[in-house]
A and B are shown apart, each in its own frame.
Chain A
Amino acid sequence: METVLVLGATSDIGIAIARKFAAAGYNIQLAARKPEQLDAVKSDIEIRSGVSCSTHAFDAVKYDSHAAFFNGIKPDITIAVFGTMYEEEDAFNDWSLAETMINTNYTGAVSILNIAARHYTTQQRGTIIGISSVAGDRGRASKLVYGSSKAAFSAYLAGLRNKCFKDNVHVMTVKPGFVYTRMTENLKLPAPLTSTPDEVATIVYNGFKAGKNTIYVKWFWRYIMLIIKNIPEFQFKKMKL
């Protein structure tokens, strides 16, 4: 069976995606900054699904380590879930926070996924899935730096899809809207627009199976964002979003 690498496996969505692919029979590689945290997730996946699961140290901003890391495990499917989100007001005032967001969400993602894509295009087979965000669809004040880092990531994934297509490598972009995670449990989220990590994982898995290019979670976010993208800028800049 094929092997799935989950980058950012300590996040709620990362764990849910790992469990979902494991339940479908894929072997799992879990990667995170603190792999020692993942022992319980590993035993859980192995016992629930009877697949094999391993844990690996991966730091998105330690670019120099990425090649050795990836070439040491060579998964068939690479899923980038990792990301950082700080309070935008803090990041606006503190460059180190803004820089970490940009470096994790964009620079680090480009670094590791370039390596994965080179491997996949050489062997003419492979899949890359990137978890971006609806926040990247249009820049706005409340998601200033996070949104722009995700916009860059979405643009990168679109380009990568275009570049790798001829080599039989598929790239899927996932844009979740609101998700109930530890990161958002202190926010008041509108229930009909919000999904659980398990729902995200199911939609990602189904999208992967169907060979989708870009999927929104939930699906109607595509149309919400379409409306938001089409508000004229002279109007948009006055809005509180």
Chain B
Amino acid sequence: MEKPLTSWGRYPVVECNQESFVFTEQLEKLADRSEDFIPRGNGRSYGDSALGKRALTTLKFDKILSFDTAKGVFECQPGITLSDVLQVIVPQGWFLRVTPGTKLITVGGAVGSNVHGKNHRTEGSFSRHIIDMDVRLASNEEITCSPTQNTDLFEATCGGMGLTGMVTRVKFRLKKIETSYIRQKQIKAQNLDELLSLFDKYQHYSYTVAWIDCLTKGKNSGRGILTVGEHAAFSELIEEQKKEPLKLPSNKKLNFPFTLPAWVLNTFTVKAFNFLYYLKNYKKEMDSVVLYDPVFYTLDAINNWNRMYGKAGFVQYQFVMPLESRQGLVEILNRIGEKGMGSFLTVLKVLGKQESMISFCREGYTLALDFPLRKGVLEFLDELDEIVLKYGGRIYITKDARMKPDMLKNYPELDKFKDIVKKYNPDGKIRSAQSDRLLLTEPK
């Protein structure tokens, strides 16, 4: 039965028939039916990547198949969330090699979006650590692929937004840790130039990310706080922490209890928030050793935080600019400052080289901003798109809900990707509202 469904940005709303499966036989039956479908995980992509007439949700196909605690190799079905994976691996002294800023995505989603983290320069995207995986194609045939086997399918499935088929099993490598703590350093920067030079100065750290205040104009434009971190060694813990070096963070969460009226978030309140956020680091540099949760998964601490942006929802705009196009970054920040349309928690990261076919990541600066849906926002984002294109940048498809197919032209292997999708999904049976909009599948 079709019901209104959205993903994390609560925009757009699509009438969607969601169906689940626990066992392979059930998936086989669902996939055998003639209606088109798109694989869907926990619905944490922001726009319409996992929306369509029919979504086959993996959330009940979430079993752990094997875990080699000596070698750090994990094998599972796609519907398990990273949060559940961490729950199992951390107490055994292992961590995810790549994790995005939320642990509430599924492993299948991590493959489909080929997610990256705060360590992209050193560890690449999620796909770099996959040993092999099974994909159920549009023909309902299941095949195994890896960096050495059925490589075209492997490459197009990593970051392919589910369009090559349903990932049904993933085996990937983990990272050894001595403790579940992160030794972090936070450094304040008064403007964008200083912030970017701090990125260079601290590039030897595994994890680097900056929060940036996008509403300050003039000489303080782009001021922010850089956070860098390393997994803490046992010897770096204080006595209290040493009692349980592989402690799991508490599962207790706050809940955003209702949808905030849209007017609450305005230029003034966002400015005030940013001001306080900048001020809370009262010193230029602060060091601490903390559990991994607040470092990697800041917003996961608040359930339903997407309600903060009001009923109409929001669009997250994440783009990457080549390193040499720093000017593009400045231009975009200026435009946002002028419009006063900025968001909380604007995140800036440096990415390493591109490694997979349809990956968003390429060497450069990536900025992610939230824009509540209101009058003029979509037009404004179209203007930003032009700047991104002009400087050779790209938009992250996983966050996208509105761009035009043209915006994909800075994905250099787009045509090759489309050909592979056609090979494994010839009639476009697997399709989403987004793939139709971006012409990744041929509209019917």
Q: Please classify the interface of chain A as helix (H, G, I), strand (E, B), loop, or mixed, using the class held by over half of its residues.
A: helix
Contact, CB under 8 Å: B1 / A43: no
Which residues of B (59-105) have their CB < 8 Å from a CB of A?
Answer: 60, 62-67, 77, 84, 87-88
Interface residues in B, total, Cβ within 8 A: 21
Residue B282 lies at the interface, judged by CB distance under 8 Å to chain A: no
Contact, CB under 8 Å: A47 / B20: no
**What residues of chain A lie closer than 8 Å to B65, measured between beta carbons?**
40, 43-44
Given that A37-B25, A48-B88, A188-B1 are contacting pairs, would A182 and B64 also be in contact in the complex, using a CB cutoff of 8 Å?
Answer: no
Interface residues on A, range: 10 to 19
Kindly identify which residue among A10, A47, A185, A186 contacts B66, using a CB–CB cutoff of 8 Å. Answer: A47
Given that A12-B60, A47-B67, A182-B26 are contacting pairs, would A40 and B19 also be in contact in the complex, using a CB cutoff of 8 Å?
Answer: no
Closest to B3 in A: A188
Q: How far is the CB of A9 from chain B (nearest CB, A)?
A: 11
Residue B23 lies at the interface, judged by CB distance under 8 Å to chain A: yes
Residue A117 lies at the interface, judged by CB distance under 8 Å to chain B: no
**What residues of chain A lie closer than 8 Å to B87, measured between beta carbons?**
48
Kindly identify which residue among B18, B19, B64, B77 contacts A48, using a CB–CB cutoff of 8 Å. Answer: B64
Residue A15 lies at the interface, judged by CB distance under 8 Å to chain B: yes
Contact, CB under 8 Å: A43 / B19: no
Which residues of A (180-237) have their CB < 8 Å from a CB of B?
Answer: 182, 185-188
Q: How far is the CB of B53 from chain A (nearest CB, A)?
A: 15
Complexed CA–CA distance, A37 and B26 (Å): 11
**What residues of chain B lie closer than 8 Å to A155, measured between beta carbons?**
none
Contact, CB under 8 Å: A10 / B20: no
Closest to A38 in B: B23
Interface 0/1 of B375-393, CB less than 8 Å to A: 0000000000000000000
Contact, CB under 8 Å: B64 / A43: yes
Complexed CA–CA distance, A188 and B4 (Å): 12
Complexed CA–CA distance, A12 and B87 (Å): 21
Residue B233 lies at the interface, judged by CB distance under 8 Å to chain A: no
**What residues of chain B lie closer than 8 Å to A44, measured between beta carbons?**
62-65
Complexed CA–CA distance, A41 and B77 (Å): 11
**What residues of chain A lie closer than 8 Å to B20, measured between beta carbons?**
182, 185
Contact, CB under 8 Å: A182 / B22: yes
Closest to A15 in B: B22
Contact, CB under 8 Å: B63 / A41: yes
Interface 0/1 of A148-166, CB less than 8 Å to B: 0000000000000000000
Could you say which of B3, B25, B64 has the most chain A C-beta atoms within 10 Å of its C-beta? B64
Complexed CA–CA distance, A40 and B77 (Å): 9
Complexed CA–CA distance, A43 and B75 (Å): 11
Interface 0/1 of B16-30, CB less than 8 Å to A: 001111110110000
Contact, CB under 8 Å: A47 / B64: yes
**What residues of chain A lie closer than 8 Å to B88, measured between beta carbons?**
47-48
Closest to A46 in B: B64
Complexed CA–CA distance, A187 and B66 (Å): 35
Q: How far is the CB of A153 from chain B (nearest CB, A)?
A: 24
**What residues of chain A lie closer than 8 Å to B26, measured between beta carbons?**
182
Complexed CA–CA distance, A102 and B74 (Å): 43
Which residues of A (38-89) have their CB < 8 Å from a CB of B?
Answer: 40-41, 43-44, 47-48
**What residues of chain A lie closer than 8 Å to B62, measured between beta carbons?**
44
Q: How far is the CB of B391 from chain A (nearest CB, A)?
A: 46
**What residues of chain B lie closer than 8 Å to A41, measured between beta carbons?**
63
Q: How far is the CB of B88 from chain A (nearest CB, A)?
A: 6
Closest to A187 in B: B1
**What residues of chain B lie closer than 8 Å to A47, measured between beta carbons?**
64, 66-67, 88
Kindly identify which residue among A37, A43, A185, A188 contacts B23, using a CB–CB cutoff of 8 Å. Answer: A37
Give 14 A-B pairs besides A12-B22, A47-B67, A47-B88 with Cβ atoms closer than 8 angstroms.
Answer: A12-B60, A37-B23, A40-B65, A40-B77, A43-B66, A44-B62, A48-B64, A48-B88, A182-B21, A182-B60, A185-B19, A185-B20, A188-B1, A188-B3
Can you name 10 A-B residue pairings with CB atoms under 8 Å? A40-B63, A41-B63, A43-B63, A43-B65, A44-B62, A44-B63, A44-B65, A47-B64, A47-B88, A185-B20
A-B residue pairs, 6 tightest by C-beta: A44-B63, A40-B63, A47-B64, A44-B64, A186-B1, A37-B23
Which B residues are closer than 8 A to A by beta carbons?
1, 3, 18-23, 25-26, 60, 62-67, 77, 84, 87-88
